[in-house]
């Protein structure tokens, strides 16, 4: 099924309304695979986050110069600048920003070499929508030092998104 109307403002009345994004919780999705980037962006947006996307670390760095984010969800193995290189650049420039690495293989050798670069959560592909959302919620909550529950509330679920999205 290719109907994606549930992700747009003109969605049919039979679909649940899309939550309004919380401007305090902006996420940058960095992924070179267009289908994964699109699905991750749509899942997070549908869950109530304000989400931007970049196709690699260079594009992400340029976007980070223009906007503030609460979290980065990044692949590692990308052209032009890897996820590890993006984390290095953030740290070298004094940018404190939590990162979730969502990648096909853990870069253990790089993590061992640069221990301070290891993000709090690494998701291995293929991961489920629930795993992604739980990781985002946990990292945002931890980076908020537990002061308040991040949006969306703990009972959100994605209604059959996989059946409605085609790469």
Q: What is the pLDDT of residues 26-57, one digit of tens each?
A: 999 999 999 999 999 999 999 999 999 999 99
* Residue ranges of E strands in 86-163: 99-103, 121-124
Share the mean pLDDT of the chain.
78
Residue 137 located in a structural domain: yes
27, 36, 55, 158 alpha-carbon torsion, rounded to 10°: -20
Contact partners, residue 24, CB within 8 Å, separation at least 6: 70, 151
Residue 160 located in a structural domain: no
Residue 8 located in a structural domain: no
Give CA–CA dist 85/57, Å, rounded.
Answer: 8
Q: What CATH number did the domain enclosing 35 receive? A: 3.40.50.2300
Name the helix (H) or strand (E) containing 150: none
- Give mean pLDDT, residues 63-81: 95
Residue 37 located in a structural domain: yes
Which token pair is 4? 């994606």
Question: pTM for the complete prediction?
Answer: 0.74
């Amino acid at each position: 099924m290719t109907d994606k109307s549930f992700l747009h403002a003109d969605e049919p009345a039979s679909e649940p309304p899309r939550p309004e994004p919380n401007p305090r919780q902006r996420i940058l999705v960095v992924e070179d695979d267009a289908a994964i980037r699109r699905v991750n962006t749509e899942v997070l947006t549908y869950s109530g986050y304000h989400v931007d996307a970049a196709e690699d670390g260079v594009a992400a760095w340029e976007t980070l110069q223009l906007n503030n984010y609460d979290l980065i969800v990044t692949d590692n193995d990308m052209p032009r600048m890897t996820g590890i290189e993006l984390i290095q650049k953030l740290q070298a420039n004094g940018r404190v920003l939590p990162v979730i690495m969502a990648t096909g293989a853990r870069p253990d050798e790089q993590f061992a070499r640069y221990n301070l670069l290891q993000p709090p959560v690494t998701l291995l592909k293929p991961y489920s929508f629930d795993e992604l959302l739980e990781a985002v919620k946990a990292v945002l909550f931890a980076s908020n030092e537990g002061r308040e529950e991040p949006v969306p509330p703990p009972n959100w679920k994605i209604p059959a998104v996989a059946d409605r999205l085609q790469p």
